[in-house]
Chains A and B, each alone.
Chain A
Amino acid sequence: MDSLQLLLDGFAGALTPVNLMYALIGVTLGTLVGVLPGIGPAMTVALLLPVTFSVPPTSAFIMFAGIYYGGMYGGSTTSILLNTPGESSSMITALEGNKMARRGRAAQALATAAIGSFVAGTIATALLVVAAPAVVSFAISFGPEDYFALAILAFTAVSSVLSRSVVRGLASLGFGLVIGLIGIDQQTGQARLTLGIAQLLDGVDVVVVAVGLFALGEALYVASRLRHSLPEVVPVGRAWMGRADWRRSWLPWLRGTALGFPFGALPGGGAEIPTFLSYAAEKRLARGVAKEEYGKGAIEGVAGPEAANNASAAGTLVPLLTLGLPTSATAAILLAAFQQYGLQPGPQLFDHNPALVWGMIASLFIGNTMLLVLNLPLAPLWARVLRIPRPYLYAGIVLFAALGVYALNGSVVDLVVLFLLGLLGYAMRRFGLPVAPAVIGMILGPMAEIQLRRALAIGAGDVSVLVRSPIAVVLLLLALAALLTPLVRRAAARPGRKTVDAPDDRSEG
């Protein structure tokens, strides 16, 4: 098999001492920052981007792979040991996980989360190895109209799935699209929306947007309504689990992986829906002890969703690497990291830079293993990180946000833009607008524009060129469905019947 050979080459590249060191630094930093309350995987990646500036591309992406998986790991530790839901993807883990921790089973909850993440991450990364070349060979025939339709699908899906209110999701997307417009038009060289500020000619960097909306927005939001008592952290020793826990965990891990990977690969899928589905499935399948314990801390309710969470993280990489299509905020920032090195993910990337792509995929396997080794014994250390006094924590987050943003261009203008975006991020949090559509809109908007103009140029201005290919038609119909489904559901739910408000049966992608 061709991709197997390439993967082996990737391992050869990733297993050098230097790259192993970068992978280790990546997973350690990723977990450490991911554990910090208030910081999700997306912000972890954005904050750690400057660390990679002086590193050669292949090593940088190996480090990134570690940061990406490490950030996911860190989030689950937070939600098990602190009861307050943090980033939405590990919210479900907190339901059963924290109850387990409170009953004195924190070590087992962390162990099933860590081992489950390892199992799911390994299987899902293997699926990525199989799926990526298949998608690439399919996508190689995509024309600009198909890419444009794909972007539209990503826009509508991410706006309608991530928010309970479609209009708020779309408003967030709009903010991102407007930010993406700022700067010089790539085809004609004309400045747009720069207000005459020279530093804006190059556009607003995605790191500034992500760090502003996530880090500074969060800090301002926390300042506005800080919980003054420190939340209770459940004390924990080394993470481990017994034979009975293994027996109860392995099937939920596999089921969670099966749910997580495909949802992660869909536009707008993300981790929220599969983790919830896995939770619901395990609840329905629970028998005996598990049934009694569900709602009071059942290990199945941690094992399944955690596996789903990590499998979806690997799934997200399929559209990102093969099509250049980010389906989550974290993926959007990873895409920006590629662009920083002048690389454009997509079918061509696999052709032109096989060493980099396969080195990165290989290091996902390596990082995943390192995380398992790192997380089981280090649980008590992570628990201590959770006790950092909040004033220091958020002051530190802002300091690193400022450092990362200033380091991009050495420009104070970026810091002012960062502050304005922080205010926007604060308002979005305050009024329940999801942040991910904005990040995806700003990174994907300029690409959508280029593809649209390219398609219309080929069609000599004839708009029907956009629906000439059957792929584009299908994608646009799916986009429409993504937009209309919540409205239809709401209309259908109106007559009296009370419905669950968690997304339980959305499969429109």
Chain B
Amino acid sequence: MRKTQWWRPELGLAAVVLALGGFVVVGTLDVSAAASRLGIGPRFFPMLVGGSMIVIGLFYVVDVLRGGRGDPEESEDIDAEAPTDWRSVGLVSGIFLAFTAVLEVLGWVIAASLLFFGLSLALGAEHKVRAAVVGVVLGVVTYLLFVKGLDVTLPGGLLQGVI
């Protein structure tokens, strides 16, 4: 929470729009334009998009500074009045990134079970044993269904050959 009067969290998102516009312009500078003499090369469209993003970003910043605001999206399970629960957001993010890190080592069944278990606890499930059981069942069933049934490739990991 910043105390400064003019600061609003939405400015952060507007800044992302601006920065992304700049990134597109700078990031495509190394793309050589000599590809075609007729018409335009591979840099023209990114320049157009990047330039537009910068203009849109500026309008966005002005809009937020002048008091404009987007309405937070309504949804079935959202309490629009509640303050942001950063702890839950952090936990969910951390668990997902951890899952990403261990997926190919542990394999789908174990990693997905842990993902489900962790996320349901982070989101407030009270019954730990039940969450664990549902997680393992989901991990095994999705693996069998998608790998054996639908020929989708998922990492076997530690259980390679066991399942």
Chain A residues with CB under 8 Å of chain B are 37-38, 50-51, 53-54, 78, 82, 84-86, 163-165, 167-168, 170-171, 174-175, 177-178, 181, 185, 187-188, 190-193, 195, 216, 218-228, 231, 389-392, 394-396, 398-400, 402-403, 406-407, 410, 412, 415-416, 419, 422-423, 426-433, 445, 448-449, 452-454, 456-461
Q: Name the B residues within 8 Å of A427 (CB-CB).
A: 12-13, 16
Name the 3 nearest CB pairs between A and B, nearest first: A432-B70, A457-B39, A37-B76
Q: Cβ of A398 and Cβ of B40 under 8 Å apart?
A: no
Smallest CB-CB separation from B90: which chain A residue?
A223
- Beta-carbon nearest neighbor of B17 in chain A: A171
Majority secondary structure, B binding face: helix
Q: Which residues in A have their C-beta under 8 angstroms from that of B121?
A: 391
Residue in chain B with minimal CB distance to A441? B49
Closest-CB distance, B103 to chain A (whole angstroms): 6
Could you tell me if A392 and B17 are in contact, using CB atoms closer than 8 angstroms?
no
Known: A391-B121, A412-B104. 13 other contacts (CB 8 A): A50-B146, A51-B150, A54-B151, A164-B70, A168-B70, A222-B78, A231-B77, A390-B77, A399-B116, A412-B103, A430-B84, A433-B13, A461-B38
* Neighbouring B residues of A430 by C-beta, 8 Å: 9, 72-73, 84
Within B39-81, which residues are at the interface with A (CB < 8 Å)? 39-42, 44-46, 49-50, 52-53, 56-57, 59-60, 63, 68-80
Whether B124 and A228, one on each chain, are in contact in the complex, defined by CB atoms closer than 8 angstroms, is: yes
Interface of A is mostly: helix
At the interface, yes or no: B154 with Cβ under 8 Å from chain A? yes
B63, A167: Cβ atoms closer than 8 Å: yes
Closest-CB distance, A89 to chain B (whole angstroms)? 13
Across the interface, do B120 and A174 meet the contact criterion of CB distance under 8 Å?
no
A-B contact pairs, 5 of them (CB 8 A): A50-B150, A84-B78, A177-B49, A430-B84, A452-B40
Q: Are B120 and A391 in contact (CB under 8 A)?
A: yes
CB-CB under 8 A from B52, the residues of chain A are 170, 174, 177
- Bound CA span A187–B39, Å: 12
Given A224-B88, A396-B138, A445-B49, does the pair A38, B75 have CB atoms closer than 8 Å? yes
Contacts of A181 in B (CB 8 A): 24, 28, 45-46, 49
A221 to B115, CA, bound (A): 18
Q: How far is the CA of A138 from the CA of B89 in the complex (A)?
A: 50
Which residues of chain A have C-beta atoms less than 8 A from B70's C-beta?
Answer: 163-165, 168, 431-433
A228 to B125, CA, bound (A): 11
Q: Chain B contacts of A222 at CB under 8 A?
A: 75, 77-78, 123
| Chain B stretch 88-121: residues in CB contact (< 8 A) with chain A | 88-89, 91-93, 96-97, 99-100, 103-104, 108, 112, 115-117, 119-121
